[in-house]
Every structure is written in structure tokens, then in C-alpha cells.
Amino acid sequence: MKLLVLNPNTSASVTDRIASTARRIAAPGTEIVAMTAGRGVPYIATPAEALIGAAITIEMLAEHAAGFDAAVIAAFADPGLGAARELLAIPVTGLAESAMLTACMLGRRFSVVAFTPALGPLFRECIDYSGLAARCASIRFVTRPFASVANVHEEQEDAVAALATAAALEDGADVVLLAGSPLTGLAARIADRVPVPVLDPVSPAIKHAEALVVLRPRKPRAGTHARPEAKPSSGLPDALAALLARTD
Amino acid sequence: MKLLVLNPNTSASVTDRIASTARRIAAPGTEIVAMTAGRGVPYIATPAEALIGAAITIEMLAEHAAGFDAAVIAAFADPGLGAARELLAIPVTGLAESAMLTACMLGRRFSVVAFTPALGPLFRECIDYSGLAARCASIRFVTRPFASVANVHEEQEDAVAALATAAALEDGADVVLLAGSPLTGLAARIADRVPVPVLDPVSPAIKHAEALVVLRPRKPRAGTHARPEAKPSSGLPDALAALLARTD
Amino acid sequence: MKLLVLNPNTSASVTDRIASTARRIAAPGTEIVAMTAGRGVPYIATPAEALIGAAITIEMLAEHAAGFDAAVIAAFADPGLGAARELLAIPVTGLAESAMLTACMLGRRFSVVAFTPALGPLFRECIDYSGLAARCASIRFVTRPFASVANVHEEQEDAVAALATAAALEDGADVVLLAGSPLTGLAARIADRVPVPVLDPVSPAIKHAEALVVLRPRKPRAGTHARPEAKPSSGLPDALAALLARTD
Amino acid sequence: MKLLVLNPNTSASVTDRIASTARRIAAPGTEIVAMTAGRGVPYIATPAEALIGAAITIEMLAEHAAGFDAAVIAAFADPGLGAARELLAIPVTGLAESAMLTACMLGRRFSVVAFTPALGPLFRECIDYSGLAARCASIRFVTRPFASVANVHEEQEDAVAALATAAALEDGADVVLLAGSPLTGLAARIADRVPVPVLDPVSPAIKHAEALVVLRPRKPRAGTHARPEAKPSSGLPDALAALLARTD
Amino acid sequence: MKLLVLNPNTSASVTDRIASTARRIAAPGTEIVAMTAGRGVPYIATPAEALIGAAITIEMLAEHAAGFDAAVIAAFADPGLGAARELLAIPVTGLAESAMLTACMLGRRFSVVAFTPALGPLFRECIDYSGLAARCASIRFVTRPFASVANVHEEQEDAVAALATAAALEDGADVVLLAGSPLTGLAARIADRVPVPVLDPVSPAIKHAEALVVLRPRKPRAGTHARPEAKPSSGLPDALAALLARTD
Amino acid sequence: MKLLVLNPNTSASVTDRIASTARRIAAPGTEIVAMTAGRGVPYIATPAEALIGAAITIEMLAEHAAGFDAAVIAAFADPGLGAARELLAIPVTGLAESAMLTACMLGRRFSVVAFTPALGPLFRECIDYSGLAARCASIRFVTRPFASVANVHEEQEDAVAALATAAALEDGADVVLLAGSPLTGLAARIADRVPVPVLDPVSPAIKHAEALVVLRPRKPRAGTHARPEAKPSSGLPDALAALLARTD
């Protein structure tokens, strides 16, 4: 099967890291095609930036999803996830949602560790949207600024391991999610030092996408993710306009 | 004071109706400037369409908000409301939020009456975001298709009055919100026939905007609506890019 | 329009301060008539005292509300708010409710800062009643006793500013409410020192009362705030008995 | 032990019925002293009436509680329950709370059957205050008006049995509470016809009062029900003023 | 009346202590028959151990409940409580549930103090099952290991009193529950040192069992605790198999 | 990889059907070993029966899990799921949990369709345990009795399709779960007739088990699913006793 892994940020180096993790975890026979946002911001950190990234995500999916079996929105706050499910016929997964749902199978409560407090409002919104707030024990943040998005996890490995351990022992987390695609790959490096499972969100999102392809759920004709009625539009990219007009 | 009333839909006739209601309810000395989305869809009905409208809303606010004392996002699902609060220094209100908050002062539970069941998922998401789901008694929909967005309320007056009455007597609603800017102006026409208050969401959003201007809350330097750190971007409209780069 | 601002406490000096804030924030053309509870306690601090104050509030409203366009219950815990809405035909607002609803337009979560821990149970009950507990980040209290209710804010200005800042930076509050009418007027003095908006609850309650008068919601004939059926009573003040008997 | 059973309504005939049920269920050695509100309304049906009754309840308890081991507030909405617990040193129970807590030991979800829809807002408020809303399956009401409060259960026996059965079979109630002291005594008469347990709230409130006396919990010196600091007051009945001033 | 008090643990010395507390609190005329689990673990501390204990509990109740008026499951996590209610015709109470419901009559929020952090997941599950999580202020644990289950409270008296006081003053608990049957009897010893009521869960469970016997609720024929349809089984103890087959 | 699929019921014919679905959905290279409960009841329908099945499940897992990469508890209510996670070192999934988590990726709200109303209390308990009650739109039941567990889906195909469609169109479900392993295999047959995705819970549980094996989360040393301290026991099956004693 063929998965489109779309990074809603414009940082190609982050996309590379995501793609590398994705390929490592993917089943034999799964082809990973990674794509970087063609416009937007290098790293989505706030609700407003996530909205911008979400709109770009659905534009890109409208243009590029044809021929793929499923898509993965590869940023922790899952920008555009619901909209993508509504507009596309293929399954779509998101890093935060997949990590939280997987955490629910590994423990009763999870904590999120992220690399800057500025992410708090965005991640809280994302957890609330999932309906799983009651299963979230805490969000903890690295507070020391990092020198580079691309190298954040080398810089922060010890700090992240300490935060994850504190989440388990002080906040009662049974599982820790490393949030933010720059942290991709770090989970494996700190696993032995943390007393509970540590999840890298890219991996669950890939496995969930693979699973949904196999389960072959029908595209809904009713409900939240039913495709909207054909509708004219103006000023939108051609592929998105065609999708809305149902002329795709 | 000067309020920017922004319709995230591209229907100028709906904007006219909103503007007319806004001017009728505004305090003496409040100037209403109404604006129609320059691109997008004629009527936002689903979460995906709301996302498209939200991104356009913040683009337009980035370009046009200068010189206004407050802004009103004039579509019931409040597309872009949180992002606008984050990016702008002036207060921003939304139709759904203002109507729900006002309903909380008029009763314990409110119902929403909308003109098509297709709006259900979008409105439920909006109610959830407000944190007021426990105070929502029901959402009821006109099920007969309407011939024209512009004339929907003339066509549907009797149906809407009957739904509002049923929401009060059967669902336990203490207040009824008429949702969807096409219904603007209908509340006054059916008020006598419904046993509980009926709110036209445009009016509360205008009054709340006026109130916030007078209260003069400071622009937050911390928390959810703090302005994000300066950030480079690519491919965004100039005004929005400048806002993100803090070069505005 | 003419607003009755009723202080359910017997401290006339607090009433004066409330009235002064109310007049400063009121729209041109709004006449503020402030009234002090004729009996009861000087400062309501607990649920039992609030119950006593609530009963006195509705007695006073029964006697004095005629001729007013709206009433404001000017104590943070809103004693008698629901009952007043049920018994009276005019809109009624309360300080806590108005402050919390306004806070919802300025941030995702609010904190309450009050001047004594003894207020905790009363304020928690009040927040629970509003249905907004999920949007409350914390309640913080000044723990140093104050010498005088009338001068509490001069004494406590620095302590309150520090608590409000801690609520924002440590508890994640996007907005801070200064609770308790003795703090009236303090918000403006500390605004510059606190990184998020600080609300004086008197002001939102006045603006909401003005807005409700303009919105002209009908008095409900059904639901929670419908006027009760005519009922005999004994031993109640004449005006309240007449209201219950519907002979007013 | 000696229990004060206080009916916050002015209907002595209802008090007699409550007292009779209370004496039937009380343990040997428990003396029941029933008292009728000296002023107020004959039957509390709305939140405003409950507030009036609550204030009268605490006045009466302030005057009469001395010498009793516990008090029972004998109206389903428990007017003044929290305030009584704060002001008095003896345990206090309420009909609604005791019935709901007992229902939690007999099933997962309970329904309330009441004899007029006008009670809806009051009972919903009472259920919310208990924190047990998630365990309430439904509230059902007799809709046929009744000729007399005193004889309501003779008139309505068949209707109440049918509603209780419908609550079990259609709403999923595991237990049914007959709410409103006029229904006292009816539970036993319909028990055989309803497939789930039916509770008369007077009985659980008596048993809980007896249990609390035996458990001998200390009067709290901290928290919600700690007695308030001594406070002057004006215009309150002597006994209540003394209680507030701590000169009792 | 005759109460079966069943300790799902295999520690007979703990059973003795429970029985002694039970007999002290029981009404004259209540006969307490205490029974120790015939197999299982000496002290249930985790959800898996509680499941093992729960299955043993219903086996024992199937065999021994005949002739009793009610049963008490005497371990704080109430193993097998719901199942026992479903299978048996007599009322069944549990220590945790009874303590929490009683706490609701003594305050707005309760804390649980237990003697080892290992109990956290089990107790949280138990609180969640009750639907009262919103009324739980905190769970606090003695962290110093104890030398013997039988003598735990002599060893830990000071630590428990300090934790209970901290729960009241720092966490806002209005009542403190001493959880875990080894702590039975300790509440009375520390009551004077803690500013809020301290509950020994054995006592409320006995009083609730007595009350339910007097209330005589019918065995439900519908809903959660209705007895299941007759069903064959294999490999189960005779008494339990007979209960399932309805041949008892 | 090698998955142990354990049916906690004693119906071998149901196990066969589960195994067949499991093998169809499993990845190449996944070996499915299906096992039927050696004792217990033919079909778990109530909380008490689920408790019996749960205890048997962990006994069987203690005895047979060695050598497997993961285990699947193949009954909709997931009997013993949490306990299995605590006791075993390998990942464990359950049908209900996996179906609900997967439903969260396919829509905002799901409904459960089951083949007898007797399952209501058990399934509600299971949904509550997951923390996803707010995302459950409804539970609907086939009310016509079925002739045979083994053939239930042939008999009930039309009824189930009608219920699933009603759940979507009337209750607002975006996804429908067919609950109860006897319905295994039915989803594919009715998919075209229902306007939203229909999930057979066996399939998601298999795919989740496979995913967890690949993700290789560490066995927690802290938190809810940490293995309990070594503990003596009496009267338990040898393998389970060894697991508890940590002598396995």
C-alpha cells in the first residue's frame, strides 16, 4: 500500500526525519511518500499557525491524495484532520490522535512531553478535541530554549527523559507521548531510562493508517465525515475547488 | 467606535442582512463596517468549509483590521475566532459564542435551531469548543430544503417558530438560538409565538464587541491568545506574513 | 436606561465603590441606582451567608425593581440570581456570571483571585453552577488578613498583582477575575503588571445588563425562568408575597 | 436519639404524612419531632420558592436544633441543606440527596418521578448540585393536574406506577425515586407493579440521619462546612443572628 | 438482622479487626458474621488482584449468602460489588462506595488516604466507577513501607494524621476516607488531630447495609442488577453454577 | 508474529468464527492461535458473567501466554483486559476497546449495535471504562430473540442493518460497531446498506495487536500496568499463582 505522509510545516529536514521513522516502522509492502508543506511556517506552534497549516494541508491533500491508500498528517496537533476526513475518500490519521489512542491501550492515563511551553494552548485544544482529556495526566514542557528545530532531540535528550520520568512518577502517567515532530526518533533513545512506555507519535500514526487501509471502512454518506454537497467556490486552488464542486 | 463585521462567506446579500441587523442593534456612535469574504464558499456548512473560511477570515483580518476597535466574525460557527484573538490586538467576537454566552444569562439551557441538518457536525463542534455542551438542550433542524439562502427566513418562518417552540416544550430549552446568518432578522418576527426568548446571534455579537471595547482588556503577553513569537513564513498573503513576522 | 445595582451586603461603603465603578463604565444615558441590603451581613463569605443574602436580595428586588430596565446583583457569588430571573420580568445579571462569561471571550481559561481563602467553597459553588468549571484554571487567595473591607484593595494591591501573575504563568490562566466587590476598582491599577487581562466583575455585569436591555428578550412563559404559578404565602414581606400571588 | 424533621413548606398535612413515614422507618429508640415551616409557601415548586424556603429553613434550625442529634430537611430539593451543614454542629440530611445516594447502592442509574413538570428546573438543579447527574437516567412527570396536595398520591397512584415502569424499561433506570414529599408513602403501594426498586425519599433521609449520628463525624474546623467566623448582622431573627455572631 | 461481612483477602487477622469495628458500630439486634476469603491473596492491592478477589467474592457469596439479610464486601475497592448485586437477592454494600456516599453528606469533596502508593490505580478505578470523581479532591499515600499488614495502623498513626490534615488544608478535602481495611479502627484515634471528619469505611458500609435491609427494596426484574437469565456453565463451583442456572 | 486470540466464552463455534475473521484480516506472517475458555459460560451477557469470564481469562493467559507476541481478548466487553495488561509482559488488546478507538479515527461519534438488550448494562460499563462515553451516540439492540448463538448473524442480518442505519440517521452516529463476537463477520455483509462505516470488532483488535507488537512499548515498571510486587497466594491455579509470586 501507498501512504502519503504530509508534513504541514515547511521544514524539509523535519520531513526527512519523519519519513525515516515512518519507513522504519512501516510494514513490508508499505510505500511511504513524504511531502513538505509548500507554503506556511517552518514549525506550527500555536492555534493560529495550526489553522494556517490546516488550510494548507487540505489544499495539498486535494491536489496530491489521488493514488494513495491513506494519508498521515504529520504534525502533533493534527492540523486539518477532521476536514481531510470529510473531503477525502481515503483514511487519514494524525500524529496526536494516533498517539493518544495507542496510549489508551498501554495505560489508563498518558502525559505529553513537548519541547516548548508555547505549545501548551495548541496541544490542550488538540486533546480536548479528542475527547480524551480525562485520560491525560499532564503536559510537561522542556523550558530551556533549543538552538535548532532540526537537532532538537540531540540537544534535549536528557531533559526529555527527565520530564518523561517525572510525568510517570509525579503525575501518574502510565504512558508518555513525545509531542512535536522534531522529537521524532527520540523515544527509542530514552525508553530504557523511563519507567513507562514512551511513544513516538509518528509510529502509531503509520500503523493506524496501515490498519485502516486493511479494514476498508466505507466512505460515509451520512454524518460528520460525509462528503459535503457540491458547492461552488471562488479564489481557491483548483484541486480544492474541484473537490468542493465534486468535479474531481 | 468602529466595528469590522466580517462575513466569512462570499454571499454579499447575507452580509447586507447581517449589516442591517448590526446597525439596528448597535449603540449610537458605533460605526459598523461590513465586509464579505473575497474568496471561499457562499455558505459554510461543514467543518471542512469552516476551516477554509477560517483561514480566509484571518487573512482578511490581517489585512483590514487596522483602525477598527473590534471585529465580529459573522458566521454562526465562528470560523477563525481563536486564531483571530491570538493574532490581533483588538477584541474579536463570534456569533455562536456570543449567542451561547448570552443564552447563559437568560436561562439554564439553550437549544439551537438551524435550517439544515447538514450543519449538525459543525455546530456540535462549535458548542463543544465553547465548553458549554452541558447547557445545550438540543439542536433542531428545518428539514425542508430551502429555495434560496438569501430568502431562507421568509420561506421558513413558520417551520422555525414551530421548532423553537418544540425545543422549549419538549427538549427543555430556556432559550433558543437561531443559528446561521441567513436566519438573521427572523428572531424578532417569531418572538411572540415562542414561549422562551429567541436570540438572533448577530445582535449579541455586536453588543459583546461593544462591551469589550469599553472594558479595554489588555492584549495578553502570555497564555492562549498571546501573540506568537515572530516567525518567518512563505507563500502567505503579505498582511498575514507581516503579522506572523511581527513586521506589521 | 435605568439600572438597579443591588449590593446584597450591608456595607454602604462597598456599595459606593461599586456604584462609582458602575457609573464610570456605563454607557451615556444609563442611569445607575445603587442600593445596599437593608439587613443581613456586612460581607458575604460563605454559602450560608450567601443564602441569607440571596433571600434578602429577592425581597429587595420584589420591592424596588419596578421602573428599572434591568438589575445587577453586585456580589461576586451572585446570590439570588436564578431566583431573581424567575420572579422578575426584567433582565438580571450577576458579577461572577458576567465576569466568567466575559472571560470566555478573552481566553480559554480563567482564574479567580479573591482576598480570603474562606471564600473558596462559595466561589467553587458559583463556578459549578455556571457550568464553566472546565474553563476555570484555578482560584487563588490572598492569605494575609486585611484590616478593613472598605480599604482592602489599597492594602492588597501588590499581593493581588502577584497572585494574578502567578495564575497566568503557573496555572495557565488566560484571564484573571478579581472576585469580591471590595476589590472593585483594583483591576485598572494592576493591569500593566499582569501579563493577561484582569477583569473587575462590576464592569462586565453593567455592560451585560445594558446589552440585555437592548436585546429585549421576552420574559419566558416556559422553562426555568418562567414566572411561577400564583401561590399563596404567609409571613413574607408584602412585595414578595404579592409577586408570588401575582397580585403585583 | 432525637431527630428534627423539618418541612420547609407550610402544609401541616404534608408534615403529618412525612412524620408518619419517618416514624414507621425509624429505628427503635429514635424519636421523630416533625415541624412545619412557620412561614413561606404551601408547596415549594421552583428555584425561587426553594430559595425562600431555604432561608426559612436555616432560621428555624437556628432556633430549634438545640437538643437534637440530627436534622432532616424534608422537601425533595433539600432547600438550605449545605447552609444548615455549615451553621449547625449536628448532621443534617435531605430527602433528594439521601434518595440519590441510596439509589447509587441499588443500581447504576436512577430516574426521578415527580407529580408536575413545573418541578423540572428545581430538581435538575438539585441533581446537578449532588454531582450525580451522570447517574440520572431521566426525570418523568405526572402531567395531569392534581386536585389537592394532601391527596395527590391517592389520585395519582396509577399514573406514578406507569411512569416508574416506563423509566425502568424505556430510560434504563435501575431505581426510581418518587420526588416531592406529597408522594410520601406511595412507594410501598406501587412497588409490586414496577420492575425496579422504588424509593420514598423520606425513608433514606431518616436512615442516613440515624447512621450519621452513630458515626459521630466531627464538626469540621476547615473546609466547606466549617462554621463561619463570627460576624455581626442586622435585621435577622435573633437565633440566626446569634449563630452568625457565635454567641449562641 | 444478620449481616455477612466478607473479607475478600485471605488475612484472618484483618477480618478480625473488621469484625470488631463492625460489631462496635452495628445496631443492637444486628448480628455480624465475618468471613475470610478461602483462597486468593492476603491483601488486594492492584486491579488484577481485585479481579481475582472479586471472582472469589461472588463464589463465596453464592455459597454462603443464604440466610443473611445483607452482605458487606469488606475491602476498600469493593471487589465484585456490582456482580454480587446482580446475582443475589439481598442488598450488598462495599467499603469504598459506602464511605464515598457518606462523605457526600459530610462535605462537598473528599480525599482518600491509603497506606501505599501501589493502591493508586485500583482506588482511582473504584472512584471512577462510582461516578463521584468530581467530588474527590485527592488521593494521598503513606510512602514509608509498613512492617506488617496486621499492625499497619499502629505503625502509621502519625503519618496518616498528617496526610489527612494536608488533604484538608492543601487539597480542599472536606472529609477524609481512610482506605484499606488494615486501617480499620484508626479513624477514631486520629479524629481530634484532623480538622475535618475522618471516616473509617467499615462503619458506613455496616450502617448502609442495615439501612437497606430496613428499606426493603425489591430485587429488580429489569436493569443492571436484574438477575441474569438461567444459563448453563462448566467448571464453576457448584453454588455459583446453581445460581447461574437458577437452580438454587 | 504469533497472536493468542482468547475467547472468554465456552462456545467453540464462536471461537471458530472469530479465528476465521482474525486470519482473514491478519497481516502475512501473523500466526493466529485461537483458544476457547475451558470453563465458564457459553456467552457472557452481564457484568457478573463478565467478571467470571475475566477471572478465567487471566488464569488462561497466565498458563498459555508464554511464547506469544501479543494476546487478544475476544469478547466485546473485554473481560480481564486491564488485569491482563498488568500481569503480562506482552501487549493485550480487547474487542470493544479496539473497536471504539478505531471508531474515533472514522468519525466523531459511534453507536453500538448488539443483539440483545440484556447486554446494555455490560456494554455501558465497558464504554464508561474507556473514557469515551462522550463519543458514544447510542446503543441499539436487536429485540427479536435469536435461535442460536452460532447462527445469530444469518438470522439477524436485516435487523442489524436497519438498526445500524437508524443509529446513523437518527442518533447521529458516524460509525457503527457490531458488538458481541457472535456478530463477527456480519459487518462486511451489511456495509453497503448502511450509510456510515460498520466495524467488526475482531478486526481492529487484531490490527491493534499487530501494531503494538511492532511498536514494542516497554513493560511498565511504574503506573497502572506495572507488574505487582511478588505476593503469596493460596487456592489459585499454579500458573496464576506463579505469576503473582513472580516465580514464573
From the CA of D113, how many Å to the nearest CA of chain E? 17
Q: What is the DSSP letter of E218?
A: P
What pLDDT was estimated at residue B151? 67
Q: Which residues, in sequence order, are CB contacts of A159 under 8 Å at separation 6+?
A: A142, A144
CA distance A16 to chain C (A): 34
pLDDT class for F210, splitting at 50, 70, 90? very high
The Cα-based distances of E15 to D228, E9, E11, E33 in angstroms read: 41, 8, 7, 10
Q: Do residues E184 and E202 lie in contact, with contact meaning Cβ atoms separated by under 8 Å? A: yes
**Residues whose CB falls within 8 Å of the CB of residue E190, separated by 6 or more in sequence, listed in order:** E157, E160, E161, E164, E198
More reliable by pLDDT, C206 or A185:
C206
High-pLDDT (> 90) share of chain B, %: 89
Beta carbons of D99 and D177 less than 8 angstroms apart = yes
Can you tell me the mean pLDDT for E102-110? 98
What's the confidence (pLDDT) of residue D116? 87
Per CB-CB distance under 8 Å, the chain E contacts of D82 are: 108
Minimal-distance CA residue of chain B relative to A45: B228
CB of C117 within 8 Å of any CB in chain A?
no
For the record, the C-alpha cell of C218 comes out as 421576552
Q: What is the mean pLDDT of residues C109-122?
A: 94
The Cα–Cα gap between C197 and C213 comes to 26
Q: Do B108 and D120 touch (CB under 8 A)?
A: no
B-contacting chains (≥3 CB pairs under 8 Å): A, C, D, F
Percent above pLDDT 70 for chain A: 96
**What separation in angstroms does the CA of D210 have from each of B140, D3, D213, D220, E32?**
48, 8, 5, 19, 19
Q: How confident is the model at residue B139 (pLDDT cuts 50, 70, 90)?
A: very high
D42 touches chain B (CB under 8 A): no
Domain residue spans of chain A: 2-94+204-245, 96-201
Is F164 in contact with F137 (CB distance < 8 Å)? Answer: no
Do β-strands F175-178 and F198-199 pair in parallel, antiparallel, or remain unpaired?
Answer: parallel
For D122, the closest chain C residue by CA position comes to C224
- A189 and chain C in contact, CB less than 8 A: no
Contact F88, F65 (CB under 8 A): yes
pLDDT in tens, B39-60: 999 999 999 999 999 999 999 9
What number is the ipTM of this complex? 0.96
Closest CA to E26 of E58, E70, E67, E63: E70
pLDDT of residue A164: 97
Q: Check if D208 contacts E (Cβ < 8 Å).
A: yes
Query: Is residue E149 very low, low, confident or very high in pLDDT (cuts 50, 70, 90)?
Result: low
Cell of D96: 433528594
Q: Given a cut of 70, is residue C151 above it in pLDDT?
A: no
Joined grid coordinates for residue F3? 497472536
Q: Is the pLDDT of residue E124 over 70?
A: yes
User: Helices in E65-119 by DSSP H: which ranges?
Assistant: 81-87, 95-103
Query: What pLDDT is attached to residue E182?
Result: 72
B246 Cα to chain A: minimum distance (Å): 14
Amino acid B234 reads: S
* pLDDT score recorded for residue B214: 97
The string of DSSP codes covering F16-83 is HHHHHHHHHHSPTTPEEEEEE-SSB-SS--SHHHHHHHHHHHHHHHHHH-TT-SEEEE-STT-TTHHH
Q: What is the rounded average pLDDT of the residues D129-156?
A: 82
Chain B to chain D, count of Cβ pairs less than 8 Å apart?
4
Distance from CA of E111 to the nearest CA of C (A): 16
Q: How confident is the model at residue E156 (pLDDT cuts 50, 70, 90)?
A: confident
From D116's Cα to the closest Cα of chain B, the distance in A is 14
Provide the strand spans (E) within B8-150: 31-36, 70-73, 92-94, 110-114, 136-141
Measured between beta carbons, the chain C residues lying within 8 angstroms of A118 are: none
Contacts of E246 (CB under 8 A, 6+ apart): E227, E230
Mean pLDDT of B106-129: 94
If pLDDT is split at 50, 70 and 90, which confidence band does A124 have? very high
**SS3 assignment, position B71:** strand
Q: For chain D, what is the mean pLDDT?
A: 94
**Is B141 strand, coil or helix?**
strand
> F216 to chain A: nearest residue by CA?
A197
A124 touches C at CB < 8 Å:
yes
CA angle, E93 then E97 then E102, to 5°: 100
pLDDT at residue E147, rounded to an integer: 67
Residue A3 has pLDDT above 70, yes or no: yes
Q: How far is D167 from chain E (nearest CA, A)?
A: 10
Closest-CA distance of chain F to residue B143, Å: 13
Asked: is C96-201 a CATH 3.40.50.920 domain? The reply is: no
B220-234 per-position pLDDT tens digit: 999 999 999 999 999
F108 interaction partners in chain B (CB closer than 8 Å):
121, 124-125
- pLDDT band of residue D147 (cuts 50, 70, 90) is low
Chain E residue numbers touching F10 (CB-CB < 8 A):
233-234
H/E run at residue A31: strand A31-36
Q: CA angle F61-F67-F69, nearest 5°?
A: 85
The residues, any chain, with a CB within 8 Å of residue E218's CB and separated by 6 or more, are D191, D192, D194, D196, D197, D198
Distance CA E81, CA E93 (A): 7
The amino acid occupying position C197 is P
pLDDT at C166 over 70: yes
Query: Once rounded to an integer, what is the mean pLDDT over residues C182-209?
Result: 94
Report the pLDDT averaged over residues B180-207.
92
Label residue B109 by pLDDT band (50, 70, 90): very high
> How far A209 CA lies from chain E's nearest CA (Å)?
31
- Three-state DSSP class for residue E169: helix
Residue that is written with C-alpha cell 482578511 in the block: B60
Q: Inform me whether the pLDDT recorded for D117 exceeds 70.
A: yes
Q: What class is the E2-95+204-245 domain?
A: alpha beta
CA dihedral E105, E110, E113, E119 (to 10 degrees): 100
Would you say the CATH fold of B96-201 matches that of B2-94+204-245?
yes
For residue F222, what is the nearest residue in chain A, using CA coordinates?
Answer: A195
Buried b / exposed e over F63-83, threshold 16 CB at 10 Å, is: bebeebbbbbbbbbbbbbbbb
* Three-class DSSP labels, chain D: CEEEEEECCCCHHHHHHHHHHHHHHCCCCCEEEEEECCCECCCCCCHHHHHHHHHHHHHHHHHHCCCCCEEEECCCCCCCHHHHHHHCCCCEEEHHHHHHHHHHHHCCCEEEEECCHHHHHHHHHHHHHHCCHHHEEEEEECCCCCCCCCCHHHHHHHHHHHHHHHHHHHHCCCEEEECCHHHCCHHHHHHHHCCCCEECCHHHHHHHHHHHHHHCCCCCCCCCCCCCCCCCCECCCHHHHHHHHCCC
Q: What is the pLDDT of residue C153?
A: 64
Cα dihedral C194, C200, C201, C203 sign:
negative
Binning pLDDT at 50, 70 and 90, where does residue D146 land?
Answer: low
| A125 chain-C contacts, CB cut-off 8 A | 108
The pLDDT value given to residue D180: 82
The 10s digit of each residue's pLDDT in C19-73 is: 999 999 999 999 999 999 999 999 999 999 999 999 999 999 999 999 999 999 9
Q: Is E109 in Cβ contact with D217 (below 8 Å)?
A: no
Q: For F168-194, what is the mean pLDDT?
A: 92
Classify the C-alpha dihedral B199-B203-B205-B208 as positive or negative: negative
Would you say how long chain E is, in residues? 248
State pLDDT tens for residues C232-246.
Answer: 999 999 999 999 999
For residue range F18-32, list pLDDT tens digits in order.
Answer: 999 999 999 999 999
- Say what the pLDDT of residue B182 is: 72
In three-state secondary structure terms, A21 is helix
Reported as half-sphere exposure (CB side, CA atoms, 13 A), residue B58 has a value of 31
Least confident of C29-33, E144-148, F106-110, F156-160: E144-148
Q: Which of C139, C206, C154, C145 lies closest to C13 in space, CA to CA?
A: C154
User: pLDDT exceeding 90 applies to what percent of chain A?
Assistant: 89
Place of cell 463492625: E22
Tell me the pLDDT tens digit for each residue of E204-236. 999 999 999 999 999 999 999 999 999 999 999
Interstrand relation of C92-94 and C31-36 (parallel, antiparallel or unpaired): unpaired
| CATH ID of E97-200, from 3.30.420.40, 3.30.40.230, 3.40.720.10, 3.40.50.12500 | 3.40.50.12500
| One-letter amino acid of B210 | E
CA closest to E84 among chain F residues: F48
**Do chain C and F touch: 3 or more Cβ pairs under 8 angstroms?**
no
pLDDT band for C183, please (50, 70, 90 cuts): confident
Residues D194-218: tens digit of each pLDDT: 999 999 999 999 999 999 999 999 9
Q: How far is CA B165 from CA B160, C91, D150, in A?
A: 9, 21, 33
Burial of C3 per CB tally in 10 Å (0-12, 13-18, 19+): buried
What is the length of chain B? Answer: 248
Quick check: C185 pLDDT over 90?
no
Average pLDDT over residues A129-158: 83
Cα–Cα distance for residue pair B78/B7, rounded to 1 Å: 10
Question: Hey, is the C-beta of C69 within 8 angstroms of any chain B C-beta?
Answer: no
CB-count burial class (<10 Å; 0-12, 13-18, 19+) for E98:
buried
Cβ-Cβ pairs closer than 8 A, C with E, add up to 4
Give yes or no for residue C182 having a pLDDT over 90: no
Smallest CA–CA distance from B245 into chain A, residue? A41
Given a contact cutoff of 8 angstroms between Cβ atoms, the answer to whether B177 and B103 are in contact is yes
Q: In whole angstroms, how far apart are CA E233 and each of E82, E248, F58, F182?
A: 20, 14, 18, 18
Answer whether E51's CB lies under 8 Å from E75's CB.
Answer: no
Q: How far is D223 from chain E (nearest CA, A)?
A: 5
* Interface contact E116, partner F, CB < 8 A: no
C-alpha closest to that of B139 among B106, B102, B100, B94: B100
Q: Please tell me the CATH code under which domain A2-94+204-245 is placed.
A: 3.40.50.12500
Q: What's chain C's average pLDDT?
A: 94
Is A in contact with B (3 or more beta carbon pairs below 8 Å)?
A: yes
Q: How far apart are CA C34 and CA B135, in angstroms?
A: 32
pLDDT tier at D79 (50, 70, 90 boundaries)? very high
Rounded Cα distance between C193 and C160, Å, is 10
**Cβ of D172 under 8 Å from any chain F Cβ?**
yes
Secondary structure (3-state) at A93: strand
Statement: residue B188 has pLDDT above 80: yes
Contacting residues of A for F98, CB less than 8 Å apart: 105
Three-class SS state of E246: coil
- The b/e string for A201-228 (b: 16+ C-beta within 10 A; e otherwise) is bbbbbbbbbbbbbbbebeebebbbbbbb
Could you tell me the three cell numbers for B225?
A: 491568545
- In total, chain F counts a number of residues equal to 248
Best mutation target, F52, F58, F143, F219, to test chain E (most E CBs within 10 A): F52
**How large is the angle between the packed helices D95-106 and E202-215, nearest 10 degrees?**
90
pLDDT tens, residue by residue, A186-202: 999 999 999 999 999 99
Instruction: Please provide residue A128's backbone torsions phi and psi, each rounded to the nearest 5 degrees.
Output: -60, -45
Q: Best mutation site among A85, A95, A169, A196 for testing chain F: the one with the most F CBs within 10 Å?
A: A196
Q: What is the pLDDT of residues F49-77, one digit of tens each?
A: 999 999 999 999 999 999 999 999 999 99
Q: Which of B27, B131, B225 sits opposite C135 (nearest CB)?
A: B131
